[in-house]
């Protein structure tokens, strides 16, 4: 039988282990938040060979490099399937199989290694594809072709491969700037939150072209009215909806401005509210606005500027108005792309000209950004895509 002193020693040992065990665990072991694969699209060159991958712990903000995930040419924009099993990339080229076209590549995702396996590649039905997305069901991929001014939809087969195009539409016309708007330049196509409308942003036409989207057949047909306009010569690049679908914000590359619209969800109609500069008030040099995003809470908006090399932060009012609250240096040059992680806690800024991705902590209440100290070296990064593990 143990003595009273032995029992005390045993109890003290148990108490010591209980109190100190949390201190002995690594941050990764204690992490309670989600982890993601982060895929980085790039422009091919002497140092870049395709899509690169990171593993990201959203509870700690730490990343680990997984290296080259797939070798492919100019994967400048990426989209992930809702189930996280597949990744789709544009190949921003103008000659594919001897025709004036780019391509779209489908990959399967290995969640253990982060590696991507090419499933198939199809013509994008236009030159210079620069944007790819999926419809809300994951049954169709949609692509915008900048050089040709076309948009196209592709069915996704059960194995993740892309089928032949279900719909191809060619835009026509020109804008006010003869150098950059000599013809149509489709820069984005994205679905409405209810999956009923597809909106194509055309930089060359200063228009948002609105299409009714047939989610069964993947066919696009013009809405009535067929478009909404921004100011002449402003060069719209990307837009984003609020989570509730009541408002939309269009980032204008050439004017470095953001135009707010209210959105009629039943009829797919946009009504202009206001236009706001994306630039710091004292900045006077050349700038091209690049990317735009809204926080998952729908309370703050972010826009990147290539020139001032900043991310503008705006508070969003209940009636759709924007109020600038900060302009944050991106820690590099030419922030072509950025993305918010799905938890709304982190922002990854892809600085194309300085070959780095800088990670910022987001204050979910105030919207402010703070550099986390994490900087990932990646050659010519252009796009960021999170895939839940």
Q: What is the DSSP string of 212-268?
A: EE-TTT--EEEEEEEEEE--TT--EEEEEE-TTSSEEEEEETTTTEEEEEEEETTTT
Residue 379 pLDDT exceeds 60? yes
Residue 6 pLDDT exceeds 90? no
pLDDT for position 8:
52
pLDDT for position 33:
72
pLDDT band at 18, cuts 50/70/90?
A: very low
Write the DSSP symbol of residue 175. Answer: -
Tell me the HSE value of 253 on the side-chain side, using a 13 A CA sphere. Answer: 26
Residue 40 pLDDT exceeds 90? yes
pLDDT for position 20:
44
3-state DSSP helix/strand/coil % of the chain, to nearest 5 = 5, 50, 40
DSSP symbols for 26-65: -HHHH--S-EEEEEEEE--SSS--EEEEEEEETTTTEEEE
In the chain, % of residues over pLDDT 90: 92
pLDDT band at 27, cuts 50/70/90?
A: very low
- Helix, coil or strand: residue 322: strand
Residue 28 pLDDT exceeds 90? no
pLDDT in tens, 359-369: 999 999 999 99
Pairing verdict, β 35-42 and 381-388: antiparallel
pLDDT in tens, 200-259: 999 999 999 999 999 999 999 999 999 999 999 999 999 999 999 999 999 999 999 999
pLDDT band at 1, cuts 50/70/90?
A: very low
Encoded tokens for 150: 């076309």
Which position has the higher pLDDT, 17 or 275? 275
pLDDT in tens, 220-237: 999 999 999 999 999 999
pLDDT in tens, 68-99: 999 999 999 999 999 999 999 999 999 999 99
| pTM (predicted TM-score) | 0.92
Which position has the higher pLDDT, 31 or 242? 242
Number of continuous H segments (helices) and E segments (strands) in the chain = 2, 28
pLDDT in tens, 144-181: 999 999 999 999 999 999 999 999 999 999 999 999 99
- Helix, coil or strand: residue 5: helix
């Amino acid at each position: 039988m143990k003595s009273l002193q032995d029992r005390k020693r045993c109890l003290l040992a148990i108490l010591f282990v209980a109190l100190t065990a949390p201190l002995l665990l690594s941050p990764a072991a204690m992490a309670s938040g989600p982890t993601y694969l982060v895929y980085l699209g790039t422009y091919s060159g002497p140092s870049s060979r395709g899509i690169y991958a990171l593993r990201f712990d959203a509870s700690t903000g730490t990343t680990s490099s997984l290296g080259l995930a797939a070798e492919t040419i100019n994967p400048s924009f990426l989209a992930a399937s809702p189930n996280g099993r597949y990744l789709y990339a544009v190949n921003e080229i103008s000659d594919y199989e001897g025709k004036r076209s780019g391509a779209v590549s489908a990959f399967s995702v290995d969640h253990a290694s982060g590696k991507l396996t090419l499933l198939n590649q199809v013509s994008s039905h236009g030159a210079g594809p620069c944007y790819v997305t999926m419809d809300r069901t994951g049954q169709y991929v949609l692509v915008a072709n900048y050089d040709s001014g076309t948009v196209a939809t592709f069915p996704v087969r059960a194995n993740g491969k892309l089928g032949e195009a279900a719909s191809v539409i060619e835009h026509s016309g020109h804008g006010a700037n003869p150098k950059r708007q000599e013809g149509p330049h489709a820069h984005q196509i994205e679905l409405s939150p209810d999956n009923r409308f597809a909106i194509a942003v055309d930089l060359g036409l200063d228009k948002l072209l609105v299409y009714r989207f047939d989610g069964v057949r993947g066919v696009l047909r013009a809405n009535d009215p067929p478009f909404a306009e921004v100011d002449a010569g402003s060069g719209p690049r990307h837009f984003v909806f609020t989570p509730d679908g009541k408002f939309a914000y269009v980032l204008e590359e050439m004017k470095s401005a953001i135009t707010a619209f209210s959105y009629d969800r039943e009829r797919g109609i946009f009504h202009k509210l206001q236009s706001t500069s994306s630039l710091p008030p004292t900045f006077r040099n050349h700038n091209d606005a690049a990317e735009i995003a809204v926080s998952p809470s729908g309370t703050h908006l972010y826009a990147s500027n290539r020139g001032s090399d900043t991310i503008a932060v705006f508070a969003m009012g209940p009636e759709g108005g924007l109020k600038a609250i900060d302009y944050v240096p991106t820690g590099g040059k030419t922030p072509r792309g950025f993305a918010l992680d799905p938890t709304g806690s982190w922002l990854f800024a892809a600085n194309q000209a300085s070959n780095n991705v800088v990670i910022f902590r987001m204050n979910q209440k105030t919207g402010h950004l703070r550099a986390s100290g994490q900087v990932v070296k990646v050659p010519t990064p252009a796009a960021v895509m999170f895939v839940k593990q």
